[in-house]
Structure 1
Amino acid sequence: MISQATSLSNELESSPFYFWSGHLGSFANHYPGAIQLVGANGLILFRSDRSLIDKGGNDVSRALGQAFRNGIPSFASTESLLNKGNIRVIAFPIHRDGRVVATLMLGHSTSDIRSVFNLLYILGGILGVFSIVISAVAGYYMAKRALEPIQEITSTARGVAAGDLSRRLKSKSQDKEIRVLVRVLNKMFTDLEESFQGQKRFTADASHELRLPLTILKGEIEVALRHPRSEEEYQQILRQQLGTIDRIQRIVNDLLTLARSDAGQLELVQAPVDLSLLLQEIGQQHLILFDSQNVTLEMDIEDDMEVTGEADQLERTMMNLLSNAFKHAPEHSTIHLSARTRNGSAIIAVRDEGPGIAKEQQGHLFDRFFRADDARCRKEGEGAGLGLAICKRIVEAHAGKIKVESKPGEGATFIIRLPLAGADPSHLKRLDNILIDPENGKS
């Protein structure tokens, strides 16, 4: 509109007054808005179809006055900019001989601007709705992806609770906390599976071990009741049954000891124990038994070794180890029992010259009911496979360690480390995971 007003004013300023009407009429033929020419005396010299002064009121009159006074273009609006009936007005002064002789007023409707703004509003609304939809969809998928590990955890936990203990979490979440939670839960599921499997094996093995002597006991009683017998025959049968009952009682007592250990109820009397004297006495008790089978017992026990614990339980441990060595020692062989002090600990070793233990079996040697030969039918006088498991629980209850060293064909050595009474804890800490072989001094 400014360029049009400038062009028309230049034509008027360069033309005589009597040509102004022609120029304004010609301009009005193609100009879409209102045209009005006001003289310096306030008279309307030309007007197209509408009166801009009457239309705009004070704002248009003020713009007209400023154009006359200041000699520069001035603008006004008849209503608000985006109102449907608004007209934008420019008051452009016409100069002649250095003074303002008239003011050209051009009015143009702002409906096209309003249409543009309306279109922008519509586009803005559409884009806003589109953005909300995209944000909602993206938020949904992001939330779903973020919750996938939680859903997997829930599903896996339900599966484990339903009895499928083999299920594990496979989430690869980038969230550090989720990864830590997944590792902890997987470890818990693994521990649960191992616990349940161990419980099943324990129940099956315990049932098997008790079923044989109970079957024997029942059979002997049934045979005894088939026909009357003499007093001597009944006494013989009862003595046989008493031996079977003793075996059942030993198995039950061993199971009770292991159950108390698992429950943390294996309470020990904490008292000073002369370990040297205890080992000498146990060795002496086995000399006659070993000699009956042409097996020699060699003892190398250091004097004045004292530990803190329960003498009966330590005696039970050593009896189990010596009995185990005797079962596997060939005739005319030697069993070695040694005990020495080293770095605040008593190192006890029981070594036999038997067939040895395979490497893959050594890790299970202290499991309940485990037998290196995996035999179910035991010879007369042999145990139920609980002795070494009990030894491990008793040694650990005394804050000690036990391990086995063996090679096939070279016998087996069971090594126990027990802290001496009043030993320096800093020394024991360095030996927590180290058992020293007293035969060669190697760790």
Structure 2
Amino acid sequence: MQQLSFKNRIASHYIVTTALLIFVVFFIIYSIVKFSVYSHVNNDITSEVDKHLSEIEIVGNTFHLIHKEEWKEREHNTLDVNPVFIQFVDENRNVIEKSPNLKKSSLIFNENNAENKLFDTKLADNSIRQIQVPIYQKTKIIGYIIIAMSLEDATMVLNNLFEVLLIVYPLILMVLFFIARFIAGRSIKPISSIITTSNIITKDNLTSRIPLPQNRDELYILSQTINNLLDRIETAIEREKQFTSDASHELRTPLTVIKGTLEVLIRKPRNPAEYEEKINFCVTEVDRLNHLVDQLLLLARFENQKQSLKIEKVYLNAIFLDTIARNSTAIQSKNITITTDFSRDYYIETDSYLFLIIVNNLISNALKYSNQNGKLTVHIKSVASRIECHIIDSGIGIPADDLENIFNQFYRSQSNAHPEIKGTGLGLSIVKRLCSLLTIDIAITSEENIGTRVVLSLFEADLK
């Protein structure tokens, strides 16, 4: 069984509800009209009863109409205009007198209906409304006056109304269905855009986005949510592509070097010293590969992780002191003088793990590019409502032309001039991305052969 489309389902549900509502309204209209028509007839009959009871004369156990000319009134003579049928019967139900418009017919006394109660019955196959009222001689019933009025006009009005409602009812529902279907189609038009856009989005085409509706309703939120989802998917796929590209590009060189070294090593027998030298060289390259993979994974991991940050109060002084202690081997090997300038205890609110990566990269870079017997200064100070962390080295410095590129992936300033300084060119790229993630401002100034200054600016934690 074929299912209805979304807009047809909306229209159908609307029509079912509307059909019930219109049915109730039509039923109420019909009931009100019927009540009004019958009330009018009942009032007329009651008026006739009061009128004719006052116009009879009781003599002993008999009675008769005082004014015989009453029968000459049009409603008692004819059947064409609001006829009123009147009949007098004695206590034995024998007809004493009746209106001329009854002719040869007689009103039937209904034993099953209570006295003074109006009820519907038939007169020569015509519908009438009838009442039978007792006539008393003191407390004894000596007869009845039976009055009836035709219901043909009332029945015709009610039948016509019923037919009109019966015809109009499905027509209204049909018109409302198409109107509801049209409105539903207009309302869910953005869904068609969502379907169209979704169909053209592939792994190789992630740039298309769903047009946002003008009205900021649920469909607007849905479209915006899907666009945000597409942004995240595009970012994830681009990050995957970037990682694959970076890995294939950067891993190829050390792997080629290792392969070449081993091929040279097995060409002919060599003495143990040569084997040891080449193996140590390969181990160094493998360590470099491990470090490179770690850096690449770090970049991929923290590309877009703002929602998973663990923000907490961090003791800034301890972060720098612990990082310096972890790099003690490099400090001792170059005999670098470390100076820390902390005028007081400083606290910040950040992700301690990510901030530690930033500081560790900056300190290790400063040590790596420092000269033998150089100096490294870490200075923390308050500036307005922020804290500035200055990391100052006395190393080889960075040329002015290279400063704008130092945050690019795999970019290494003066790599040819200083081949002895190994690196991947990913450290500052990682620092920049993590600073952006943690809303930390970073600035680097440098002079060749004098040194480099890195300044981190971040908000101080409220300890209250």
TM interval, short-chain normalised: 0.5 to 0.7
Match of 2:427 in 1: 387
Q: Residue 129 of structure 1: which of 170, 175, 185 is its match?
A: 170
State the alpha-carbon separation in 2 of the partners of residues 378 and 195 from structure 1: 37
Measure how far apart 1:192 and its partner are.
2.6
Q: Residue 216 of structure 1: which of 249, 257, 261 is its match?
A: 257
Q: Which amino acid aligns with 2:454?
A: F
Q: Does 1:339 align with 2:378?
A: yes
Q: Which amino acid aligns with 1:205?
A: D
State the alpha-carbon separation in 1 of the partners of residues 122 and 370 from structure 2: 110
Structure-to-structure mapping, 1:35-434, within 5 angstroms = 44=97, 47-48=100-101, 50-51=103-104, 53-54=106-107, 79=121, 85-87=126-128, 109-138=150-179, 140=181, 165-172=206-213, 174=215, 179-180=220-221, 182-223=223-264, 225=266, 228=268, 231=271, 235=274, 239=277, 242-243=280-281, 245-256=283-294, 259=297, 262=301, 273=321, 301-302=340-341, 317-323=362-368, 337-343=376-382, 347-350=389-392, 352=397, 354-357=399-402, 365=407, 369-371=409-411, 380-381=419-420, 382-389=422-429, 391=431, 401=440, 403-405=442-444, 413-416=453-456, 428-429=460-461
Measure how far apart 1:197 and its partner are.
0.7
State the alpha-carbon separation in 2 of the partners of residues 253 and 224 from structure 1: 25
State the alpha-carbon separation in 1 of the partners of residues 359 and 104 from structure 2: 122
Q: Which amino acid aligns with 1:388?
A: L
- Rate the CA distance shift 1:86–1:56 in 2: closer, same or farther, 3 A: farther
Q: Is this contact kept in 2: 1:321–1:388, CA < 8 A? A: no
State the alpha-carbon separation in 2 of the partners of residues 385 and 87 from structure 1: 107
Measure how far apart 1:150 and its partner are.
6.7
Q: Is this contact kept in 1: 2:442–2:454, CA < 8 A? A: yes
Q: Is this contact kept in 2: 1:401–1:416, CA < 8 A? A: yes
Q: Which amino acid aligns with 1:339?
A: V
State the alpha-carbon separation in 2 of the partners of residues 407 and 53 from structure 1: 126
Deviations 1:135-180 (A, max 9, x none): 5445555666666667766887787797754343434275655545
Measure how far apart 1:403 and its partner are.
1.8
Secondary structure of 2:442's match? strand
Deviations 1:253-302 (A, max 9, x none): 242255368389xxxxx8893778889996775589xxxxxxxxx98753
Secondary structure of 2:121's match? coil
State the alpha-carbon separation in 2 of the partners of residues 44 and 347 from structure 1: 123
Secondary structure of 1:246's match? helix
Secondary structure of 1:79's match? strand
User: RMSD of the TM alignment (CA)?
Assistant: 6.5
State the alpha-carbon separation in 1 of the partners of residues 175 and 121 from structure 2: 40
- Rate the CA distance shift 1:213–1:304 in 2: closer, same or farther, 3 A: same
Q: Is this contact kept in 2: 1:356–1:406, CA < 8 A? A: no
Measure how far apart 1:121 and its partner are.
0.8
Measure how far apart 1:243 and its partner are.
3.6
Q: Which amino acid aligns with 1:190?
A: D
Q: Is this contact kept in 1: 2:390–2:453, CA < 8 A? A: no
Measure how far apart 1:130 and its partner are.
3.1
Secondary structure of 1:404's match? strand
State the alpha-carbon separation in 2 of the partners of residues 28 and 400 from structure 1: 104
Q: Is this contact kept in 2: 1:357–1:406, CA < 8 A? A: no
Measure how far apart 1:206 and its partner are.
1.3
Unpaired runs of at least 5, structure 2: 1-40, 49-67, 89-94, 133-145, 306-317, 347-351
Match of 2:92 in 1: none
Secondary structure of 2:461's match? helix
- Rate the CA distance shift 1:23–1:180 in 2: closer, same or farther, 3 A: closer
Q: Is this contact kept in 2: 1:400–1:416, CA < 8 A? A: no
Measure how far apart 1:211 and its partner are.
0.8
Q: Which amino acid aligns with 1:319?
A: S
Q: Is this contact kept in 2: 1:52–1:107, CA < 8 A? A: no
Secondary structure of 1:371's match? coil
Q: Is this contact kept in 1: 2:79–2:101, CA < 8 A? A: no
Q: Which amino acid aligns with 2:121?
A: E
Match of 2:137 in 1: none
Q: Is this contact kept in 2: 1:274–1:305, CA < 8 A? A: no
State the alpha-carbon separation in 1 of the partners of residues 418 and 324 from structure 2: 33
State the alpha-carbon separation in 1 of the partners of residues 176 and 148 from structure 2: 46
Deviations 1:88-111 (A, max 9, x none): 6899xxxxxxxxxxxxx9976432
State the alpha-carbon separation in 1 of the partners of residues 196 and 333 from structure 2: 60
Q: Is this contact kept in 2: 1:338–1:350, CA < 8 A? A: yes
- Rate the CA distance shift 1:317–1:138 in 2: closer, same or farther, 3 A: same
State the alpha-carbon separation in 2 of the partners of residues 166 and 152 from structure 1: 15
- Rate the CA distance shift 1:390–1:30 in 2: closer, same or farther, 3 A: closer
Q: Is this contact kept in 2: 1:258–1:393, CA < 8 A? A: no
Deviations 1:401-431 (A, max 9, x none): 572346999997432469xxxxxxxx72379
Measure how far apart 1:194 and its partner are.
1.3
State the alpha-carbon separation in 1 of the partners of residues 153 and 356 from structure 2: 107
State the alpha-carbon separation in 2 of the partners of residues 136 and 376 from structure 1: 75
Q: Is this contact kept in 2: 1:314–1:394, CA < 8 A? A: no
State the alpha-carbon separation in 2 of the partners of residues 178 and 155 from structure 1: 15
